[in-house]
Structure 1
Amino acid sequence: MKFFRYLLFSAVLVTGMNSCKKDSENLWKVEVKSPVEKVQLIDISKELYDPNVSLESFTQKYPFFQGTVPNEDFAERRKDPEEIKVYKEAISKIDVTKLNKELADLFSHIKNYFPDFKEPQVFLYSSALQGIMEPIFYESQKDMLFIDITAFMGENNPNYKGLEQYFQKSMNPKNIIPKVSEIFAEHFVERNFEHQKFIDQIVYYGKLMTLQDAFLPNEPDALKMNYTPEQYEWAKANEANIWNYFVENNLVFSDDQRLAERFINPAPFSKFYTEIDNESSPQIGIFSGWQICRKFYQEKPETKLTDFLKMNAQEIFNQSNYKPKN
């Protein structure tokens, strides 16, 4: 499509012009009344690989960590030099003190909108690269959050050899907090994609991104989307043309479930089936849903977050008056 191709050359100009404009007031920059001062953060693997900690005392302290692995195998794993090497490299990449402060700030903002939320005990651990595709796990019933530090060793780390590059872009230490926030956002938004239209799906993700805005008001937008700065700028520069494409091709209210594969699921780029595809930002449907929800809050800034999350996609879309222009 020619309109996409044109904006590839004009994106720098558009971005430069926009950067000169004064940022509008951030609705989500609020004073937190009862901030969380400090998070209980424990590095399980530090004790796992410590030869001075007996297997018996370790398993008694963390009975959930061994799983179904027999004692003999578990004891051998604790001495595995390769596993120990990966753990030491992974933990060296993380500023634990900084992470504690960032988690405390995140939990404070969540509690500000959901007073019943109880900040979890946080466990850092090494999966020895086995769990890097889903590195964050939240056990809501037990108020426990697990972070696999081997998933945040940095893009192009030799340990990630063979892993698709588009996954690696969000495998840096700075991506930990946005990914943790995303896990909590999913906890507060009901999901049901059965027999749903494209608009229902993208607004669902738009709600998640709105919670990212509320939970992380000071975090760069690109990180919230797991984008690079360049991917975010491309999405912003092409926002109107992306939406025009959806409208002109009758995708907005389509119930074609293949659209998720093209515009929502993780991928190196979005699939417009044009010459622009390889240059496009991935998961662009999520970005569009986010902008719809942002426009809704421009129109209805007084709406309580909990009420907004209960609204259906059609209501949000209609009341947003979303019609982006070039």
Structure 2
Amino acid sequence: MKFFRYLLFSAVFLTGLASCKKDTTNIWKVEVKNPVEKVQLIDISKEFYDPDIPLETFTQKYPWFQGTVPNEDFAERRKDPEEIKVYKEAVSKIDIQKLNNDLASLFSNIKNYFPNFKEPQVFLYSSALQGIMEPIFYEPEKEMLFIDITAFMGENNPNYTGLELYFQKSMNPKNIIPKVSEILAEHFVKPNFEHQKFIDQIVYYGKLMTLQDAFLPNESDALKMNYTPEQYEWAKANEANIWNYFVENNLVFSDDQRLGERFINPAPFSKFYTEIDNESSPQIGIFTGWQICRKFYQEKPETKLVDFLKMNAQEIFNQSNYKPKN
């Protein structure tokens, strides 16, 4: 499998060649009618840690925020100097006005394709690092979206000591909008992996990434995948060889559920079981499913997004004519 290694070192060269080609039209860059002007953005923790706001006043305003925490513990947490310190550092990393504008743009793009989408009220909060592995929570029925700002303090932040570095790569303020978009996309595409083949799984994630394209037409592809620029370049440079590996090893239509762990689940790298593994980009199955869906839209650009999401993986794959070349 040394073909992977060769392309790794030639990625810069290939990128240079690609930059000389004429850019293809981005079909997702469209003018949005009636855009969302402003998002209702509330920093719950700002009030939670404010000693001038009585606890009773706070709990009446946000009765769902306390959860199952006893009143005594809840009151003590408001005065915890370490929690306050973490919150203040986390909120200092975020440009609130930019976040508001970016959320408004995101919600506008979603409403453009799904007119019944109601933009949620957005709440920022600090979990004091307890919820950083799943920092975005969406409740469509209540039209509420929660963002744990302590999950976006920047990779290598001292507060993340002990956390795997591959998780930290997407824990920067610039990752907030792509991760919010990803969570919202999941609302429109329901998974059903029971007895499914690998192609079904990667095309499901390809649909999610296609929604990322539609919802974030001006965002970088690397951020949409929660990749570093280097990880994205590796994936692009090796796209054909990755697909050849899947085909030659009869993985495309396999129902081996372990393939999800190797090529879809969060990890420091993908698992080809070759010497290239440590240098590979993670979640390469998601990347491949995305490219299949992108190729489908090159072939069928007139397809409405809502119709595309209803198609099964086999239809999308067959009509995409996906055959990447070196």
Q: Same fold (TM over 0.5)?
A: yes
TM-score of the aligned structures, taking structure 2 as reference length: 1.00
Distance 1:248 1:241 in 2: 10
State the match for 1:294 in structure 2.
294
User: Structure 2: 5+ residue runs without aligned partners?
Assistant: none
SS of residue paired to 1:91: helix
Distance 1:205 1:120 in 2: 24
Aligned ranges 1:45-194 → 2 under 5 Å: 45-194=45-194
d(CA) in 2 for partners of 1:224 and 1:216?
Answer: 8
Q: Which runs of 4+ in 1 moved over 6 A?
A: none
Deviation of the 1:69 alpha carbon: 1.0
Aligned to 2:252: 252
Q: 1:259 Cα shift?
A: 0.2
State the distance in 2 between where 1:172 and 1:22 align: 32
Task: State how far apart, in whole Å, the 1-side matches of 2:232 and 2:19 are.
Answer: 14
Letter in 2 for 1:153: M
How far has the Cα of 1:2 moved from its partner? 1.6
CA distance in 2, matches of 1:127, 1:290: 32
1:11 deviates by: 1.2
Deviations 1:253-306 (A, max 9, x none): 000000000000000000000010000000000000000000000000000000
2:89 partner SS: helix
Aligned mates of 1:190, 1:45 — CA distance in 2: 32
> Match of 2:190, SS?
coil
Q: Does 1:303 align with 2:308?
A: no
Shift of 1:151: 0.0
Partners of 1:5 and 1:88 in 2: CA distance: 44
List alignment gaps of at least 5 residues for structure 1: none
Cα RMSD, aligned residues only:
0.4
**TM-score normalised to the size of structure 1?**
1.00
* Paired residue type of 2:257: Q
User: What is the deviation of 1:190?
Assistant: 1.4
Equivalent residue letter for 2:151: A
- Residue 22 of structure 1 corresponds to 22
Deviations 1:219-260 (A, max 9, x none): 000000000000000000000000000000000000000000
Shift of 1:216: 0.1
Counterpart CA distance in 1 for 2:145 and 2:173 is: 17
Tell me how far apart the structure 2 counterparts of residues 8 and 131 of structure 1 sit (CA, whole Å): 35
Letter in 1 for 2:266: P
Q: Equivalent residue of 2:187, what SS?
A: helix
Distance 1:32 1:93 in 2: 30
Pair 1:9 & 2:9 matched: yes
Cα distance in 1, alignment partners of residues 185 and 88 from structure 2: 31
Letter in 2 for 1:132: I
Q: Which residue of 2 aligns with 1:265?
A: 265
Following TM superposition, by how much is the alpha carbon of 1:165 offset from its aligned partner in structure 2, in angstroms?
0.2
Find the aligned partners of 1:38 and 1:50 in 2 and give their Cα distance: 26
Query: SS at the partner of 2:179?
Result: helix
1:73-99 residue CA offsets vs partner (Å, 9 max, x unmatched): 100000000000000000000000000
Q: d(CA) in 1 for partners of 2:190 and 2:310?
A: 9
- Give the corresponding residue for 2:285: 285
Query: What's the secondary structure of 1:188's corresponding residue?
Result: coil
Percent identity, aligned pairs only, is 90
